[in-house]
Amino acid sequence: MEHIAKKILEQRHLFGKRSDYTARIVANLAAKGKALTRQHVYNVVSGRCFNMDVALAFFEELEVEKKRRGDLEALANRQVGEPADYLTTA
């Protein structure tokens, strides 16, 4: 249990400071039929208490966030690598 809490503390910065990750975790848990408040989720993520359901939902949302950022980075790289249409027409 402690190693899971430590992993959460090490990886929560990946969401960013002004992220809505707590709301996304609450929505994830609500879809599974578990009703928790954003405050409870935040307390688990910040290491004040522990809840395995919240921990699992945290890692699920973390994977979604990593995929989203990877997709955005790929899109940005593709746009930077392609010449603009107005530059290629003469």
Write down the domain spans for the chain. Answer: 2-88
Q: Which residues of the chain have pLDDT under 70?
A: 80-90
- Please state the separation of Cα 83 from the chain's center in Å: 32
The encoded tokens of residue 4 equal 């899971």
Determine how many CB atoms are found less than 10 A away from the CB of residue 31. Answer: 9
- Gyration radius of the chain over CA positions: 18
User: In the prediction, which pLDDT does 79 show?
Assistant: 74
DSSP string, 38-59: HHHHHHHHTTSS--HHHHHHHH
Contact 57, 51 (CB under 8 A): no
pTM: 0.77
Q: At 17, phi and psi to the nearest 5?
A: -70, -40
